[in-house]
Structure formats: structure tokens, C-alpha cells
Amino acid sequence: MPFDFVLPDLGEGITEGEIREWKIKEGDRVEEHQVVLEIETDKAVVEVPSPKKGSVVKIYRKEEGEIVKVGEVLMTIAEESEAFSEAPRKSTSVVGSLPEAEEKEILATPAVRTLAKELNVNLEALKGSGLGGSITKDDVMKVTEKSAPAEDQYGPVQRLPFKGLRRTIAKNLATAQRTTVFVTGMEEADITGLWDIREREKKALNEKGIHLTFMPFFIKAVQHALMEHPLLNASIDEERNEIVVKKYFNAGVAVDTPDGLMVPVIKEVDKKTILELAREIQELSVKARDRKIKLDEMKGSTFSITNYGHFGGTFATPVINYPDVAILGTGRISEKPWVFHGEIAIRKILPLSLTFDHRVTDGVDASRFLTKVKSYLEDPDLLFIESA
């Protein structure tokens, strides 16, 4: 009997994903556990394997960018001896019980009908691309895209699809801004000593294949400061109305990729050396840029750091990586005249920006935390003296 392969539970509470690429096509033969599809979920790309072998007789969602829900039929697999009919089948996974194709009833969820009404789209004129011919949100949106003019009142415009990682980033950022009460504090740190340490060590490490950036030092400084200010290493459990203070330290590190910003997570940073952190940051950054990073390597942060100084930025208001309650932004290191040991000297100065959720902690605690981070960066020896 032909086998209907549905989108399986992807874990982490994920209920839907976006089709990124089919690895097979109708008529191909697949083996059990062979990767047949790439699904883009919450920032990560997940490879979906086939649960059994056979010939692919039908693929139901072919278009890149289509949203499929867990439990929705992706394709049908059959052996040569098994008869397959494309006659409409009944399904209850997405839009409820579906009638036979001969019936002219419009198949669409209430949400799709509402969207069509808002956009003044006639559902009767559409051909559905969903399961059993049901009309999807994308079907409705495509109509509006086609009718959208290529120019506005001031001149020509280009309309780009808002999908993939860009759409996921936007969704996460909007969630963070909507659910937190964010405030940003700023500070400057004289990191001339830290600069000298890095310059002294990086050549030897480069020969070992390790690219030593400032990020491992930033992570260590933050970790030690969090040990004294635990409310910044927390999240909020909205359902229980509780603040969850994390007793472990996982650092999210923002990485710029061709598709947008991704945040791999370095686990248990308190148990790792500067060199181990440097190596792991390097590995995860490559995975993120190649879109080979796994979902669990993007989860579990307790605090995040973003280094926009690499691109020339100075101060900013970084957006919290929800559900964390704080994020540190580091700006461009520049030479500045600075009072050092009572005299004016040219020093290496690092701008720092800390955005925190004011619901969890107050400005006093956040300012003390930022001052502590600054003290570790200005005197890296403290990291060794105060390490547990």
C-alpha cells in the first residue's frame, strides 16, 4: 500500500517549517534514511530523511518557501507492485475533512479566508496548492504580489520575497521587542592590555589553525560578571509568572551570514578555556555561514553577545535574543586620547552597549554588571585571579 510521508515532529516545540530544497523528484527511488528534503525552521536548516524505501510517486508541496505543518503529507512513496491513485484522498491534518475534487467547494482555513477578505482576493478564482487543492496563505499572497506595481509614486521599485531566514529573523526580533521592556546602557573600556595579549599570542595560534579574535575574551568577561549578577543570566516563564535564573552559562554569539544574522550557542563557557572557546566559535561560525549548523547548536543561550564593531559600528541598541533577558554589543575598537595613570595617552578603546529587560532587573544592577565586564576587559589578569 502506498505510504504517505508526513512532516515529522522536529522537536523543540516546532510546529511548522519552510521548504528550502527537495533533494529528490517524482519518479526517483529513495532509500530508508536518505535525506529527501531540507526544511528551514527556527533559524536552522533541518535535513528530513525518508522513513522507508520506495519510488516517489507524488510530491505535494514542491515550491521553495512554502510553509508546511508537522503532520502534513509531504510525499507518497510506493513499491512498483503497489497501485497509486491520484484520486483525491481525505485528510484531517490541516484544513479538516476534504471533499471529493469534483465538488466545487472552496478549501481554505478560516485564517486564509480572513486574509483573503482583508486583501480583497477572490478565493473562487484561485487554484489551491495545498493538500487536496486547499488554498494557502501563500496562494493568496502570490495574487497580491503579481498585482503589485513595479514602481511607486516616486519611481521604480524592486519587490523582494520576504521569506526564509530573513523572515525568521524578523519574527524573532519582533517577538523580542514586543515581549520585553528593553533599556540600553553604554560604556567605554580601555582594552590596550587585552589588545597586547591578543597580538602577542595570535601568530602562534594561527599556525595551529586557531583564529584568535576578541570574542572569547568578551565571553569570559561576561561569564564572570554574570556570576555576580545572576538576574542577567535568566529568562521569564510567562505561564508560571516566574523569573528563571540559569545556573549554567551558555553564550549566544551573533554571526553574520549571507542570509542574515544567526546566533550559534557556545555551551558551558565556564568550563572552557579561551583557546577552546576560540576553536568552537570558529567551527560554529563556519557551520552557520554554510547553513550546516544543527538546531540544537542554535538553542539554549542564557546571554548573547554581538560584535558589530567588526563592521565599523560604535554604539548601538542590540535587540535581546529572546528569551534571554540581556545582550551585550561591542563596537569598533579605536585609538583615543585617554587619561591613563594620571596622564594623557593614546589607548585602545572599546565601546560597549548593554540592552537588558527592565522587567527582570533595574538600571543599577545592569550598570554594575557593565562596569564589572569593563573591569575584566581592562585588566584580563582578573579573569585568572577570580576564576573558580
User: Annotated active-site positions, please?
Assistant: 358
What angle, 0 to 180 degrees and rounded to 10, lies between the N-to-C axes of helices 215-228 and 274-289? 110
Query: Any residues with CB less than 8 A from the CB of 206 and at least 6 apart, and which?
Result: 212
The DSSP letter of residue 319 is P
Contact 303, 249 (CB under 8 A): yes
Facing residues of 40 across strands? 18, 45
Helix 137-147 and helix 110-119, axial crossing angle in degrees, nearest 10: 10
What are the φ/ψ torsions at residue 261 (nearest 5 degrees)? -80, 130
CB 47 within 8 A of CB 33: no
Q: How many other C-beta atoms lie within 10 A of the C-beta of residue 315?
A: 17
Host H or E run for residue 259: none
Nearest to 266 by CA among 244, 288, 291: 288
Cis ω before 323 (30° cut-off from 0): yes
Query: What DSSP string describes 118-135?
Result: HHT--GGG----SGGGPB
Residue type, 154: Y
Task: Report which of 295, 269, 296, 294 is spatially closest to residue 281, judged by C-alpha positions.
Answer: 269
- The answer to whether 221 and 373 have CB atoms below 8 angstroms apart is yes
